[in-house]
Structure 1
Amino acid sequence: MNIRYILGASDGAPIAQVLSVLRSQPAWRPFDERAVAFVRRFSQKLLTSAGIRRHPELAALGHWFRGANLQTLISRYVLESPEQLKLGRGLAFHLAPSNVDSVFMYSWLLSLLSGNVNLVRVSQKSSAPLDFLVDALAQTLAEDVGAPVRARIVLLTYPHDEQLTRTISESCLIRVVWGGDATVRALRTIPLRPTAIEVCFPDRFSACAIRASAVLEADDASLRQMAAAFYNDAFWFAQQACSSPRLVAWIGDESTIDTAAERFWSALHVELARRQPENSEAMNMARVAASFEYAAAELARPAMSGEFRSAHPMRLRLEAVLDESAKALHCGNGLFLETRFPRLVELAPQLSDKEQTLAVYGFTREELVDLALVLPPRAVDRFAKFGEALSFAPVWDGQDLITTFSRNVLLPTS
């Protein structure tokens, strides 16, 4: 089998032997001090590494797992009671996505903190962020704080190989799948142990909603902050992250929206000029091709005047309901669909179980609750402020990962 071990095993080691070692490790209690110490040190290592500023998504990862946040996380969970003992489930098999290098680290480290042993398959595509992560992990594992977890972590890569994936799946008690819908469907044909569970993070489609009057009420400094926050949500991963907004819903009357949209997009153009995100010819061609497909299907038309084919961002005005076919055409890469409604609750029919995050600007909590109560089943797992769409939380895609990754062992009370 063509396996390349990156961390935790020597190249050439039989996968059966590697799995045997992993499965022999006992489950720890959630937030075992050995796991917490390792994750805290890894965070420090990551944040103090030379070159971290070139990888803001990795800086965000390190910041999220810093010691202070770990203590906050620990305080949220009741770890024990007279009636039960919490333990990890055992061996967790993580299949990382190829398009967002750091996202799998959140589930991996939360699984470690939940008491589990972990085997992670990453994409064969090399990338600077992944190399940076591996280097920080290797350095942390080499320190004394890494000794207790060295036998509990294996990072590897291999070509798509159903038999190898089947072999690993037969040994694991948790399978965590980050990938597109096709990947999830394919992996679900590979059985798990009867006692195992599966957590899937498939294709998602996210949106934002803006109260037009709030944009007009914002002073210049607030508008710059809004544009910078939207940039962080949409452009860090070229709009490929599951929580990056692709639909922009304007809420208000037509005249107010016209004025607010011009002000907002102008501010964003200034932010783009300052930040200079990647905008390759391939990305531009993907936007143009998608726009032609939207036009051919009579789903959307250009929302701006002037030169369109080189526009970045590229804006399309929706002319039909945002159904599954419309969402499937979206390519990311700075393409935004725009729609308008007088009230926020009227956005609900456009959304489905495909939507993960709705970033919001200018709305009250009561308005968000009113929208949530009329949403289709499973639509929108989280509402986020502008600038926080990509911020991770232990509850992701509607699932509390610490709770999911651990189990309760009942004890007699007397």
Structure 2
Amino acid sequence: MLRHLGGGVNLPFELAPSGLRVGDERVVAFLTTLSRKLLALGRRYPELASLGFFLRRAEIERQLSQLDGLRRPCGVVFHVPPANVDTVFVYSWALSALAGNTNVVRISPRAGAAARAILDVWHSIEDAVLARTQHFVTYDRDDELTAALSEAADLRVLWGGDNSVRALRRFPLAPHARDLTFPDRSSFAIVSVEGWRRATEAERRAAVEGFFNDAYWFDQAACSSPRGVFWVGDEDVSAEFRALLVAVAAEKKHVTEPAMAVRKRVSAYGAAADGHVSRIHLDSDAVTSLDTTTVLREWLGAGVFTHSRVSTLEEVIPRVVRKDQTVTHFGFSRDELLDFGVRSGVDRVVPFGSALTFSPVWDGFNLLAEFTKLTTVTV
């Protein structure tokens, strides 16, 4: 069950090595059952379908097969996932559990309905070993608790904004322990004008539906959700894209709350006042488009997208910054994307509709490998 902690540092569980092995069949079986139950909830919570697919036995075994050397668990792992993306804590925990670790996952008191549904499913699967070694906790800000859990950890996994990561790093780890951090990131999309013109009407529609899912599932707050689009080519076809996005948002019955509508207007006009925007398109309640020369990487509100025109993909590369994580794409050749991926330095280049598809390699880290340690044996 989800334990509510507070009022002292006496934990209601023991933090010790789990006794599990890397790829322990008990964990694999548990995750397989969890996968099946989450897939059944996919119609109600679409993001849970992606999570369930990720936890299938075939995918788990594929990830385990890619580990090299003699691997053993790290020990005790303390996870602090973000509050704004309900499924991240499961990906982080599942890979660490698959590595055989004892895990403590702090769930934000502000976690949403999808997170609660996941926990309900998790606790419906009885397993004494996992109940003893895998712990989901929630508490309001409590420096003593955070300090105690940090001190007990062999690895601390921090997801969230830069300020959150800095604040949590104030709590010391044991001398042998280390942090694995996933701070603020931003993402954008690239579209080939030639590829867009060459695509059929159905292909364009499917691309925009994928873009909608990438951006709107988590109100554009996920680090991998696009906040802007680079149009690569000499013709401006963004108006057609924007019109399709308005139509898809209406078809999906996307609702823009009044507070969000106000925020979007304020952000858009603020960006224009700062000289970053040449034109504002209030396409619909769901879609606001800003003509700019580059991506505005701060979150401006759900459904605010910058649109920038360049002649070649080469021109995008110097506009990439260290903070950029995921680039979603449409209309480019494989060779173009491989060259862009190597030269730009971004962590992920994926098709429209795949921005939120979690990968065990995230922000350039192979998580399953990070959650294990290597033993060397010389004979």
TM-score, with normalisation over the residues of structure 1?
0.87
CA contact (8 A) 1:345 1:370 kept: no
Which among 280, 285, 290 is matched to residue 267 of structure 2?
Answer: 290
Which among 25, 29, 35 is matched to residue 43 of structure 1?
Answer: 35
Residue in 1 that maps onto 2:16:
23
Partner amino acid for 2:257?
S
CA contact (8 A) 2:242 2:283 kept: no
Count of paired positions: 379
CA contact (8 A) 1:286 1:333 kept: no
What is the alpha-carbon distance in structure 2 between the residues aligned to residue 221 and residue 310 of structure 1? 22
CA offsets per residue over residues 22-67 of structure 1, 9 Å max, x none? 21533x3321111111111111122235xx4111111211111012
1:190: how far off?
A: 1.5
Residue in 2 that maps onto 1:347:
316
Report the 3-state secondary structure (helix = DSSP H, G, I; strand = E; otherwise coil) of the residue aligned with 1:159. Answer: coil
What is the alpha-carbon distance in structure 1 between the residues aligned to residue 227 and residue 310 of structure 2? 17
1:370: how far off?
A: 2.8
What is the alpha-carbon distance in structure 1 between the residues aligned to residue 6 and residue 310 of structure 2? 59
Residue in 1 that maps onto 2:255:
278
CA contact (8 A) 1:118 1:152 kept: yes
Report the 3-state secondary structure (helix = DSSP H, G, I; strand = E; otherwise coil) of the residue aligned with 1:97. Answer: coil
What is the alpha-carbon distance in structure 2 between the residues aligned to residue 295 and residue 17 of structure 1? 51
1:168: how far off?
A: 0.7
Q: Does 1:129 align with 2:98?
A: no
Report the 3-state secondary structure (helix = DSSP H, G, I; strand = E; otherwise coil) of the residue aligned with 1:390. Answer: coil
Which among 55, 58, 61 is matched to residue 71 of structure 1?
Answer: 61
Report the 3-state secondary structure (helix = DSSP H, G, I; strand = E; otherwise coil) of the residue aligned with 1:278. Answer: coil
What is the alpha-carbon distance in structure 2 between the residues aligned to residue 24 and residue 221 of structure 1? 53
Residue in 2 that maps onto 1:315:
289
1:365: how far off?
A: 2.5
What is the alpha-carbon distance in structure 1 between the residues aligned to residue 168 and residue 5 of structure 2? 25
**CA shift in 2, pair 1:362/1:261, >3 Å:** same
Which among 343, 358, 371 is matched to residue 405 of structure 1?
Answer: 371
What is the alpha-carbon distance in structure 1 between the residues aligned to residue 135 and residue 246 of structure 2? 44
Moved over 3 A (4+): 9-19
CA contact (8 A) 1:210 1:251 kept: yes
Q: CA RMSD in A?
A: 2.0
**CA shift in 2, pair 1:410/1:14, >3 Å:** farther
Partner amino acid for 2:355?
A
1:11: how far off?
A: 6.8
What is the alpha-carbon distance in structure 1 between the residues aligned to residue 18 and residue 100 of structure 2? 10
Report the 3-state secondary structure (helix = DSSP H, G, I; strand = E; otherwise coil) of the residue aligned with 2:29. Answer: helix
1:393: how far off?
A: 0.6
Partner amino acid for 1:127?
G
TM-score, with normalisation over the residues of structure 2?
0.94
Q: How high is the sequence identity, in percent, across the aligned residues?
A: 36
Structure 2 segments unaligned to the other structure (5+ residues): none
Which among 228, 231, 237 is matched to residue 218 of structure 2?
Answer: 237
CA contact (8 A) 2:4 2:139 kept: no
1:17: how far off?
A: 4.3
CA contact (8 A) 1:32 1:113 kept: yes
Write the mapping of 1:387-402 to structure 2, written as runs, cut at 5 A.
387-402=353-368
Write the mapping of 1:99-178 to structure 2, written as runs, cut at 5 A.
99-140=84-125, 142=126, 146-178=127-159
Report the 3-state secondary structure (helix = DSSP H, G, I; strand = E; otherwise coil) of the residue aligned with 1:175. Answer: strand
What is the alpha-carbon distance in structure 1 between the residues aligned to residue 17 and residue 203 of structure 2? 55
Report the 3-state secondary structure (helix = DSSP H, G, I; strand = E; otherwise coil) of the residue aligned with 1:53. Answer: coil
